[in-house]
Structure 1
Amino acid sequence: MIRGNRLVAALALVLVGTVLAVPTTSSPADARDERGRVEPTVRFATFNASLNRPAAGDLRRDLSTPSNAQARAVAEIVQRTRPDVLVLQELDHDPEALRLFQRNYLERGQQGADPIRYRYTFTAPVNTGVPTGLDLNGDGRTDGPDDAYGFGAFPGQYGMAVLSRYPIDEKHVRTFQKLLWKDMPGNRMPEGYYSPEAVDVLRLSSKSHWDVPVKVGRRSVHLLVSHPTPPVFDGPEDRNGRRNADEIRFWADYTGPAREARWIRDDRGRPGGLQRGASFVIAGDLNSDPVDGDSLPGATHQLLDLRRVNTSLTPSSDGAVEAARLQGGANLSHRGDPQFDTADFSEPPGNIRADYVLPSADLDIRDARVFWPVQADPLSRLTGTYPFPASDHRLVWVDLRHPPR
């Protein structure tokens, strides 16, 4: 929301004299098909790393040396979990800052963790901080962060990036930054709230929606990336809650039958959604819990209830269960199972499941976790409590493979 290795872990277990839920520090093991051929198991992850800054250029400055404490913690979390394909969110859009984060942090071992290198990256402009020239929030001004296409103090704040060990098919990347909200059939835009001029220009994506094909062997997996607006910080018109639900719904239309995707146009003007039968992974901070929090009822179920989405195993952690118990408050009245929480928020709403890695039904889930260590785990220093060493979100990963054909 806007607002090491196994030896070390094993020694820690001996020292504390009890069994701990130590987050995995290894890459997924490859499986073999019925002919003995290697079927690669690929770890997909999403992480809202909170690497956003209040002014343009601040992040580049902070990452220009390898000494920024927050960036080191973020990098170590990535090194400990070792995703093959990683979506980073709330990383201000600046290709040079992304390069610096790789060179000065990810590619340098942090606190005994092995360095990690991603040969392939993708990033693109987002709507946050891009001015509309209109008074969208009715405060009499046209130059505030709320008057941008997506809330932000400068263009690119709270941006996104994809890092991959597998080749990215950049020729077939599709972005949907400029898709208009009004063009979505049956959209939830609050009636009468926005001026006709605003309705004509307001974009669906508060950041952007990306389809980034990743080549795994001879196959492509379409990484579907977005970061919908938080469903709060508005009034009784619930403009952010409505937009959040429609930003989530976009992927249901995009991956659905051709008739449901006829309205979609990418930023190059190409129509339609994902090709039928294509493998995909929906990944990102959706800012919506299935049952708790402030989002519209059923917002995430627009994806979770789809037959074409594999929900056979939900990423979980023991640390989230412990945090809900220790923090109490709203967490004790939540209807959702705390083991699935991915964000450590203040009240309201308390801790919720906000971050998702949702594969298509043709991909087998081999394992799925949330990096949220219990307090007795030495790695809990990376998540901590407020003010957080890295982020108020937790990295979420899922190990996937194609079943034999």
Structure 2
Amino acid sequence: MRKLLTAVLSTAVLGTAFAAAPASAGGRDHDVRFATYNLSLNRPAQGLLREHLANPDVDDVYRRQARNVAEVIQRAAPDVVLLNEFDYDPEAVRLFAENFLAVSQNGAKAQRYLYRYVAPSNTGISSGFDLNNNGVIDTTPGDQAYGDDSFGFGLFPGQYGMVVYSKYPIDPRGVRTFQNFKWKDMPGNLIPADFYSAEEQAVLRLSSKSHWDVPVKVGRKTVHFLVSHPTPPTFDGPEDRNGRRNHDEIRFWADYVTPGKSSYVYDDRGRRGGLKKGQLFVIAGDQNADPADGDSYDDAIHQLTGHPLINTRTTPASAGAAEAATLQGGANLTHTGDPRFDTADFSDTAPGNLRADYVLPRVNIKVTGSGVFWPVRSDPLSRLTGVYDPAWAAVNGFPTSDHRLVWADLAMR
């Protein structure tokens, strides 16, 4: 497939948009399927993901997982999709598209994404400070302590990054990234001031990975695909630094889409403010926050699900999630939320299964269909989701991921 590099954004943005010759997209009578998928394609060492994706025919657990997550995407067939936990590497982005998504997996229809966007992540970037307060500043990549002292947790720079694939054109000049936005610059922020020193607070970045505004051209309309992956509200102490950060990472988009609340925002090129009144948007990502259960700080996700400019009339659901909650029991039995809406299988850990992943369009965009790729166990495709199995421990314990792909069909007439 001939590919043209249509834009490399300025070094201040540090992002890359790729495109190839135009092709038809959609196929749902002008509906566009937007999706998010935390597919756990992170690897334990830098460069491994590229190596695995460059050799798709090798039969090992890493390639099998890559083929499985590609098949999930092919079965769901989104037009625009955010992938979370994809190690930052533009070449790996190309290899996954060409060697896996564009090749039929088990008879599923190949998917060709001619437009892609990728940019660096805060994960695994050393802060130079003792951010976990263990008395040691760890600047050697590869271990837990180094990850704790990085701007976003990662064993090496870019681990747990993200990428956007699209069948519709991405406007590279319009992309905005907020990787370097300082947490302290959010008015009313929740930084635990008793935990972080004044020097640390001065450099702390809000995004544990990054926040991106990726404009997608759908016909004559521009839809701002607002994507991120807030830190889990766990793995901390009584100061709840990760819970507070998760809350404010989610709040960022709530403010960004609200005229009058986003004047404090600045992007990595110094441009200020958020969306203008009336601009179309879809917020997507693994928000690591459930509306009713789990460890979120101060009902964090309600900043989006209760927002007057966000369409939450339809909630993606699956029969497989409801079945899993019943069969797995445990913490699931204490939950108050509807298990049909769960998007992550955490039954092997304390929280139980949760709704963590979201596709949230602007209030004036009609949702014509939605779902979560979580087949019931009697469905042959349940082999792609499975249950936790130590045999898959090298890739997070599942044949694909502990998260499920979530999609919404949006009327873009």
TM-score, length basis structure 1? 0.90
Task: Summarize deviations over 1:339-362 as a string: whole Å, max 9, x none.
Answer: 000000123101000000000011
Task: Summarize deviations over 1:16-75 as a string: whole Å, max 9, x none.
Answer: xxxxxxxxxx96621xxxxxxxxx100000000000011100111111111310000000
Indicate the SS of the match to 1:260.
coil
Task: Summarize deviations over 1:222-243 as a string: whole Å, max 9, x none.
Answer: 0000000000000000000000
Q: Does 1:29 align with 2:25?
A: no
Q: Residue in 1 aligned with 2:266?
A: 265
Q: Residue in 1 aligned with 2:220?
A: 218
Cα distance in 1 for residues equivalent to 2:329 and 2:282: 33
Q: Does 1:61 align with 2:51?
A: yes
User: Which of 136, 140, 146 matches 2:135?
Assistant: 140
User: In the alignment, is the contact (CA less than 8 A) between 1:27 and 1:82 conserved in 2?
Assistant: no
Cα distance in 2 for residues equivalent to 1:41 and 1:27: 7
1:139: Cα distance to partner? 1.4
Residue correspondence of structure 1 range 85-100 to structure 2 within 5 A: 85-100=80-95
Q: Residue in 1 aligned with 2:9?
A: none
User: In the alignment, is the contact (CA less than 8 A) between 1:362 and 1:402 conserved in 2?
Assistant: no
Q: Does 1:344 align with 2:339?
A: no
Amino acid in structure 1 at the alignment position of 2:324: A
User: In the alignment, is the contact (CA less than 8 A) between 1:43 and 1:399 conserved in 2?
Assistant: yes
In the superposition, relative to structure 1, how do residues 130 and 229 fare at CA in structure 2: closer, same or farther (>3 Å)?
Answer: same
- Aligned-residue sequence identity (percent) comes to 62
Q: Residue in 2 aligned with 1:114?
A: 109
Q: Does 1:75 align with 2:70?
A: yes
Indicate the SS of the match to 2:194.
coil
Cα distance in 2 for residues equivalent to 1:381 and 1:27: 27
Q: Residue in 2 aligned with 1:357?
A: 359
Residue correspondence of structure 1 range 191-202 to structure 2 within 5 A: 191-202=193-204
Cα distance in 2 for residues equivalent to 1:284 and 1:28: 24
Cα distance in 1 for residues equivalent to 2:28 and 2:105: 23
User: In the alignment, is the contact (CA less than 8 A) between 1:52 and 1:158 conserved in 2?
Assistant: yes
In the superposition, relative to structure 1, how do residues 28 and 296 fare at CA in structure 2: closer, same or farther (>3 Å)?
Answer: farther
User: Which of 229, 232, 240 matches 2:231?
Assistant: 229
Cα distance in 1 for residues equivalent to 2:48 and 2:295: 31
Task: Summarize deviations over 1:149-196 as a string: whole Å, max 9, x none.
Answer: 001111100000000000000100000000000000000111211011
Residue correspondence of structure 1 range 122-201 to structure 2 within 5 A: 122-143=117-138, 144-201=146-203
Q: Residue in 2 aligned with 1:400?
A: 410
User: In the alignment, is the contact (CA less than 8 A) between 2:218 and 2:412 conserved in 1?
Assistant: no
Q: What is the RMSD computed on CA atoms of the aligned residues? A: 1.1
Give aligned pairs, total: 368
1:297: Cα distance to partner? 2.9
Cα distance in 2 for residues equivalent to 1:354 and 1:318: 17
Indicate the SS of the match to 2:261.
helix
Q: Does 1:300 align with 2:306?
A: no
Amino acid in structure 1 at the alignment position of 2:309: R
Cα distance in 2 for residues equivalent to 1:165 and 1:389: 26
Indicate the SS of the match to 2:212.
strand
Q: Residue in 2 aligned with 1:309?
A: 310
Cα distance in 2 for residues equivalent to 1:310 and 1:402: 14
Cα distance in 2 for residues equivalent to 1:275 and 1:327: 45
Cα distance in 2 for residues equivalent to 1:183 and 1:297: 20
Q: Does 1:41 align with 2:51?
A: no
Cα distance in 2 for residues equivalent to 1:325 and 1:137: 37
1:296: Cα distance to partner? 1.1
Q: Residue in 1 aligned with 2:4?
A: none
Amino acid in structure 2 at the alignment position of 1:358: L
Amino acid in structure 1 at the alignment position of 2:338: D
Q: Residue in 2 aligned with 1:12?
A: none
Q: Residue in 2 aligned with 1:105?
A: 100
Cα distance in 2 for residues equivalent to 1:320 and 1:136: 36
Indicate the SS of the match to 1:390.
coil
Indicate the SS of the match to 1:357.
strand
Q: Which runs of 5+ in 1 are unaligned?
A: 1-25, 31-39
Task: Summarize deviations over 1:321-345 as a string: whole Å, max 9, x none.
Answer: 0000000011011000000000001
User: In the alignment, is the contact (CA less than 8 A) between 2:32 and 2:412 conserved in 1?
Assistant: no
1:313: Cα distance to partner? 0.6
Cα distance in 1 for residues equivalent to 2:191 and 2:133: 16
Cα distance in 2 for residues equivalent to 1:205 and 1:260: 18
Cα distance in 2 for residues equivalent to 1:221 and 1:228: 22
Cα distance in 2 for residues equivalent to 1:27 and 1:214: 13
Cα distance in 1 for residues equivalent to 2:237 and 2:27: 45
Cα distance in 1 for residues equivalent to 2:342 and 2:174: 34
User: In the alignment, is the contact (CA less than 8 A) between 1:28 and 1:43 conserved in 2?
Assistant: no
Cα distance in 2 for residues equivalent to 1:111 and 1:135: 48
User: In the alignment, is the contact (CA less than 8 A) between 1:27 and 1:81 conserved in 2?
Assistant: no
